[in-house]
């Protein structure tokens, strides 16, 4: 192993949890035109009630902190949770009484879902999502049925000292390559 390590000239690293802390947290609600930020926060919170990921829990907390929103426990029995899957890249809830579906997910994944329902991704929402990604965050688009409500900006923090460690590896002649499933704009940032 020591001999093999001496021959290494490229190091491949996963982004989430290796280069970054890996616990993306909701940071901001960016509503679509004509939608109040509080409404976006409320719907994102409902879509996240059964989401046990750090991202999902942080959306519930941010909605509560920013707008005093507290989802009723009784609502949980009235909802059918739509779990996240790597194939759809969407999660959310279906309200049993009304049939309303509230989803959150990646821009391109939600855009395909909306197109299947006759909806479209508003240009301002696309711009908001791209801006979040350019800043290094992860945009989650939120929609109720075929209506896009806006974007939840998730942030992930680069680990302290990682740039210096990579610089040292480069000085040693070792190239570092980041591997990620994030969209290209987030990865570039």
Q: Please report, for residues 19, 23, 130, 170, the alpha-carbon distance to residue 102 in angstroms, rounded to integers and kept in the order given.
A: 32, 23, 22, 46
- Beta-carbon count within 10 A of 168 CB: 11
**How far is C-alpha 56 from the geometric centre of its chain's CA atoms?**
9
- Name the catalytic one among 7, 9, 14, 108: 14
Q: Is residue 14 flagged as an active site residue?
A: yes
Provide the annotated active-site residues: 14
């Amino acid at each position: 192993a020591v001999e093999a390590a001496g021959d290494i000239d490229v190091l491949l690293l996963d982004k989430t949890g290796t280069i970054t802390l890996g616990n993306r947290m909701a940071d901001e609600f960016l509503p679509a035109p004509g939608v109040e930020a509080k409404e976006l926060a409320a719907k994102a919170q409902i879509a996240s009630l059964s989401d046990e990921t750090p991202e999902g829990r942080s959306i519930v907390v941010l909605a509560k902190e920013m707008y005093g929103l507290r989802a009723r426990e009784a609502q949980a029995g009235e909802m059918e949770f739509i779990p996240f899957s790597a194939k759809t890249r969407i999660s959310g809830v279906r309200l049993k009484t009304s049939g309303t579906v509230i989803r959150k997910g990646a821009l391109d994944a939600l855009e395909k879902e909306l197109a299947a329902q006759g909806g479209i991704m508003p240009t301002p929402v696309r711009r908001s999502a791209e801006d979040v990604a350019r800043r290094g965050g992860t945009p989650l688009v939120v929609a109720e049925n075929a209506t896009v409500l806006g974007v939840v900006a998730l942030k992930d923090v680069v680990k302290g000292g990682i740039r210096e460690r990579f610089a040292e590896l480069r000085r040693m002649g070792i190239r570092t390559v980041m591997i990620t499933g994030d969209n290209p704009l987030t990865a570039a940032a």
